[in-house]
Amino acid sequence: MFLKSQPTLVLASTSIYRRALLERLGLRFESIAPALDETPRAGEAGLELVARLARAKAGGIAAARPDAWVIGSDQVAVLQVEGMQERILGKPGHIAACIEQLTAASGRTLLFLTAVALVRSRAAASLERIEFIDTTRVKFRALDRAAIERYVAHDAPLDLAGGFKSEALGIALCESIESGDPSALIGLPLIRLAAALRGAGFEIP
């Protein structure tokens, strides 16, 4: 009896959060950092931005690895204020920006948009792609400056969209979280990704 070989899988990311999430599915995979400018384009909406970046991350690696299925993912937080254009909150990068983002989120709801593109490029004219976007709604409680500073000092969420880590102390900043997939907020929607991977030939319970 011969065991069916699994397709090759590559995660187009070196994020420790996405690596840890994908490891939960029990699959062997490689992690490769995509060379990509993630700057939003002028007038680009949050949904457009995450879809474009997830597709570009996966596509760039897939072009060089036609043997593999490649997972590209991107996440932004979107602040919507009535009567105003949406504001995209990416990774703050430094403490001051993180405090400013959480101050803007105080008492409001952020939409965390997580896009995934699963891509295989067998040949230049043959591209297989499965794409989806998860939306998680996070309502923040009213936060004063001292509470925000304590939180940022504790979790140091400078490399996360919206400057917020729900799987750690950040959960204490919330009034509610509405999501169909709790792993999406951490960085990779495993429920829909597992379904997509099964469709691509991977054996996942």
Task: Tell me the per-residue pLDDT of 159-203, one tens digit each, with 9 for 90 and over.
Answer: 999 999 999 999 999 999 999 999 999 999 999 999 999 999 999
List, by residue number, the catalytic residues: 74
Q: Give dist(CA 148, CA 106) in Å, integer.
A: 9
Do strands 30-31 and 174-178 pair parallel, antiparallel, or not at all (unpaired)? Answer: unpaired
Domain count, the chain: 1
Q: Per the domain annotation, does 192 fall within a domain?
A: yes
3 pLDDT exceeds 60? no
Q: Which residue has the higher pLDDT, 39 or 136?
A: 136
pLDDT of residue 2: 46
The answer to whether residue 1 sits within a structural domain is: no
Band of the pLDDT at 124, cuts 50, 70, 90? low
CA distance 48 to 64: 25
Residue 1's pLDDT is what?
A: 42
CB-based burial label for 36 (10 Å; 0-12, 13-18, 19+): middle
Length of the chain as a residue count: 205
Q: How far apart are CA 38 and CA 12, in angstroms?
A: 14
- The Cα 65–Cα 7 span in angstroms is 12
Residue 17 sits in a domain of what CATH number? 3.90.950.10
Judge whether 172 lies within some domain: yes
Range of the domain at 97: 8-199
- Residue 68 domain-assigned (yes or no): yes
Residue 32's pLDDT band, with cuts at 50, 70 and 90, is: very high
- Enter the pTM of the model: 0.92
Q: Does residue 176 fall inside a structural domain? A: yes
E strands in the chain: 8-11, 30-31, 68-79, 87-89, 109-123, 126-140, 174-178
| Separation between Cα atoms, residue 4 and residue 118, nearest integer Å | 21
| Residue 204 counted as domain residue | no
Residue 2 lies in a domain: no
Q: Judge residue 158's burial from the number of C-beta atoms within 10 Å of its C-beta, 0-12 exposed, 13-18 middle, 19 or more buried.
A: middle
- List pLDDT tens digits, range 68-109: 999 999 999 999 877 678 999 999 999 999 999 999 999 999
For 39-72, the pLDDT digits (tens) are 899 999 999 999 999 999 999 999 999 889 999 9
Is residue 3, in this structure, part of any structural domain at all? no
